[in-house]
Amino acid sequence: MSLRFRVLGSGSSGNATLVEGGGTRILLDAGLGARELAERLESAGVDPAALALVLLSHEHGDHARGASAFSRRWGVRLAGSRGTYAAAGLGAIEIAGYDVLTPGSARRVGALAVTAVPVPHDAAAPVAFVVSFDGCSLGHATDLGHLSRPLVEAFRSCNAVLLESNYDAGMLRDGPYPWSLKERILSPLGHLSNGDVARFLQADLGDACETIVLAHLSQKNNHPEVARMAAETALRRRGDRDVRLTMTGPDGTGWIDVRRPTDGQLRLF
Ligand SMILES: [Zn+2]
Ligand SMILES: [Zn+2]
């Protein structure tokens, strides 16, 4: 079974991504309520109790809201940085267990290898993830203020990349948020803009990448078509490469294969 993933929810209403490879299933973030998470897993055909691990990128509610109740209810261990454990107060709550991830070093989770990569964001010790199986990798980064060099390097060999494209700079500037919140979002520890993503796609996307998923779009300061156009323009400028672009929002996506079928396989249909 090859590496595939499915976004269960994305954006300020709650983030979670299911990743599956070689019979091992893990969740990246648990930002929906525990019951909602279980329902979405079941509708994807996955038994919540069969998850190998729930990994947390950071402690903000839209990424960790359902984690402790889900862990308790289904007996699934949590994992993340030491800082996330402390900031989410997980030491004071009953959970099935917590595995501390050392940023930069790969860890085996069943058939999968997971690497946590530190990212710049206003949380205790936030991380992005690279999940690998059978020579194939998914890079997964939400909530980051800028694309740091270590993250760009970690994503360079990924076959699929899920990246936040949080806001359009003009819509944020002219939008309804108070200036203090605008400053926070715009800061190097805030969120990525469509322009940040476009610059990454044009200059730093690795040649192995076949699939891009744009995630964590603001509902007030962005629009899926605006984000898509910025990314498509960047990919076109980069050359005539055939990169699949998918958008995701509060309702998530269907299953996405990290590597697309080869031309030979496509001809079978
Ligand atoms: Zn978030
Ligand atoms: Zn955050």
Give tens-digit pLDDT for 218-255.
Answer: 999 999 999 999 999 999 998 866 899 999 999 999 99
- Label residue 260 by pLDDT band (50, 70, 90): confident
Ligand 2 centroid, distance to 242 Cα (angstroms): 31
* Residue 109, beta-bridge partner list: 112
Cα 76 from Cα 195, distance rounded (Å)? 38
Ligand 1 centroid, distance to 58 Cα (angstroms): 9
As given in the structure block, the two tokens for residue 254 are: 């269907």
157-186: pLDDT as tens digits: 999 999 999 999 999 999 999 999 999 999
Q: Is the pLDDT of residue 95 over 90?
A: yes
Q: Give the ligand at the shortest distance from the Cα of 62.
A: 1
Higher pLDDT, 241 or 3: 3
Q: Give the ligand at the shortest distance from the Cα of 121.
A: 2
Ligand 1 centroid, distance to 176 Cα (angstroms): 19
Ligand 2 centroid, distance to 193 Cα (angstroms): 14
Ligand 1 centroid, distance to 14 Cα (angstroms): 8
As given in the structure block, the two tokens for residue 250 are: 């509060």
Cα 120 from Cα 45, distance rounded (Å)? 35
Q: Put the strands of the sheet holding 160-164 in their side by side order.
A: 106-109, 112-118, 127-133, 136-141, 160-164, 211-215, 244-247
Q: Give the ligand at the shortest distance from the Cα of 13.
A: 1
Q: Give the ligand at the shortest distance from the Cα of 216.
A: 1
Q: Is the pLDDT of residue 267 over 90?
A: no
- With beta carbons less than 8 A apart as the criterion, state whether 50 and 25 touch: yes
Please give the angle made by the CA atoms of 61, 35 and 41, to the nearest 5 degrees.
Answer: 95
Ligand 1 centroid, distance to 177 Cα (angstroms): 16
Ligand 1 centroid, distance to 43 Cα (angstroms): 24
pLDDT at 263 (0 to 100): 52
Nearest to 151, CA basis, from 240, 245, 57, 224: 57
Location of structure tokens 């509708």: 43
Secondary structure (3-state) at 190 = coil
As given in the structure block, the two tokens for residue 159 are: 């076959």
How many beta carbons lie within 10 A of that of residue 37, not counting itself? 29
Ligand 2 centroid, distance to 104 Cα (angstroms): 20
Q: Is the pLDDT of residue 65 over 60?
A: yes
Ligand 2 centroid, distance to 228 Cα (angstroms): 22
Ligand 2 centroid, distance to 24 Cα (angstroms): 27
Cα 64 from Cα 76, distance rounded (Å)? 14
User: Mean of the pLDDT values across residues 2-19?
Assistant: 97
Ligand 2 centroid, distance to 138 Cα (angstroms): 20
pTM of the model: 0.95
- With beta carbons less than 8 A apart as the criterion, state whether 162 and 154 touch: no
Q: Looking at residue 49, what DSSP letter applies?
A: G
Ligand 1 centroid, distance to 74 Cα (angstroms): 24
Higher pLDDT, 70 or 103: 70
133-154: pLDDT as tens digits: 999 999 999 999 999 999 999 9
